Structure 1
Amino acid sequence: MPRKLIKKFMPDERKLKSNRYLSWLGSHIHDPNLWHLTRKSVSRAFFVGLFCAFIPLPSQMLIAAVAALFVRSNLPISVSLVWLTNPLTIPPMFYFAYWIGTLIIGVDVVAIDFEVSLQWIKAELDHIWLPLVVGSLVCGLVSGSLGYLLMQRFWVWHVNKSWRNRQGRKFTLRKQKAAKTSSDNPDSPEVNQAEDPQQKSPDSGTETDHSDSKKPE
């Protein structure tokens, strides 16, 4: 399951629950639904986190936490993805969003030097706020939607891959067991060759599934 892989990159649950920026959530932060790892909750978390990462405000983590409460997405993933915006990535990310905004509303690009400070925001806000907001919303929606769809596809692919691996191991074990039985009882009429899980049926000519378990959804 993808859960084991995702848990390797998730922030520590205890540290996140004690984070001072999330303390306002109160008892809501202990809601188990916000910590479950399911295909829906993780996919929604990717949308929330990537969308909020493009919000040109300093309170992205709080916005992501509120959104996670409303859409029932995984809280740690929703919050941690907004950390994509940091002092190194903010200038290129928001300049790109600003450039996209100028293309959409049809205005000229103004030569600006991004700075991560409130003074710079106050000085430049009158010139760039509209294309920056429009571009940020578009970039957030596009990146969030792509993250949601890709996580959905990855989850299904990973589950199917794990299922095929389990069936392969079961087939190998049956084959080894049949070989051992053949060596112990060479004259036994019950010794048969191990069957491939997708071996064709001699009667119908169609593939017959001999696996012991159903394929996961």
Structure 2
Amino acid sequence: MWRRWSFVRQFKLNVVRFLRLRGEPDEIAKGLALGIFIGMTPTFGFQMVLAIFFALLLKENRLAAVLGVWITNPVTAPVIYALEYELGRLLLGMKRAHFPAELTAAAFKNLGWEVLAPLCLGSLLFGILCAGLSYALTLRLIPLIKTWRVPRWPRPRKKS
């Protein structure tokens, strides 16, 4: 039955991959924090490329950065981006953006500004907060996690 649940298997493989990351806890924590920061930005679709680029540029753990980007996935992204937009909108004192009544280029340009400005501000603040928290937690948890032993999947018994 467990073989049919590919998402459970994939999650377990990602946990094992994270446990086997090589490097110092500080390097892994910085890479993960970088990935989470980039994952919080509204660059959906380019986040992995950006994470690898900045990890190479800053000489941080690339795999940890790519794993950190997955904080925003198709399930969590709508919630995260909505929270970021609302925070940015409140800080900027803007009203909620509404879909334009007439479909003109100027109306869409204005709508883009009404959405993008609060989203960028909110994502910057959420990114800094989440990256800092993930760095602190990861730095403390990696020595503990490295001692875990993940059991293998149960193998079917051979019929004799």
Instruction: Give the alignment of 1:1-217 within 5 angstroms.
Output: 8-10=16-18, 36-57=22-43, 58-110=45-97, 124-155=111-142, 158=144
Q: Choose 1 or 2 for highest CA Rg.
A: 1
By how many angstroms is 1:11 displaced?
A: 10
Partner letter of residue 52 of structure 1? I
CA distance in 2 between counterparts of 1:87 and 1:155 reads: 27
By how many angstroms is 1:124 displaced?
A: 4.3
Extract unaligned runs of 5+ from structure 1. Answer: 1-5, 13-34, 113-120, 163-217
Name the % identity: 26
CA distance in 1 between counterparts of 2:138 and 2:75 reads: 26
By how many angstroms is 1:123 displaced?
A: 8.6
**Does the CA-based 8 Å contact 1:52-1:63 persist in structure 2?**
yes
Identify if the C-alpha distance between structure 1 residues 122 and 55 changes in structure 2 by more than 3 Å, giving closer, same or farther: farther
CA distance in 1 between counterparts of 2:127 and 2:49 reads: 16
By how many angstroms is 1:126 displaced?
A: 2.6
Residue in 1 that maps onto 2:7: none
By how many angstroms is 1:67 displaced?
A: 1.3
CA distance in 2 between counterparts of 1:153 and 1:86 reads: 25
Q: TM-score, normalised by structure 2?
A: 0.66
- Higher relative CO (Cα under 8 Å, sequence separation at least 6) belongs to 2
By how many angstroms is 1:108 displaced?
A: 2.4
**Does the CA-based 8 Å contact 1:11-1:80 persist in structure 2?**
no
Q: TM-score, normalised by structure 1?
A: 0.50
CA-to-partner distance for each residue in 1:59-83, whole Å, 9 max, x for gaps?
1111111111122221111012212
User: How large is the Cα RMSD of the aligned pairs?
Assistant: 2.9
By how many angstroms is 1:155 displaced?
A: 3.3
CA-to-partner distance for each residue in 1:142-194, whole Å, 9 max, x for gaps?
101100011112235x29xx6xxxxxxxxxxxxxxxxxxxxxxxxxxxxxxxx
Partner letter of residue 152 of structure 1? L
Residue in 2 that maps onto 1:205: none
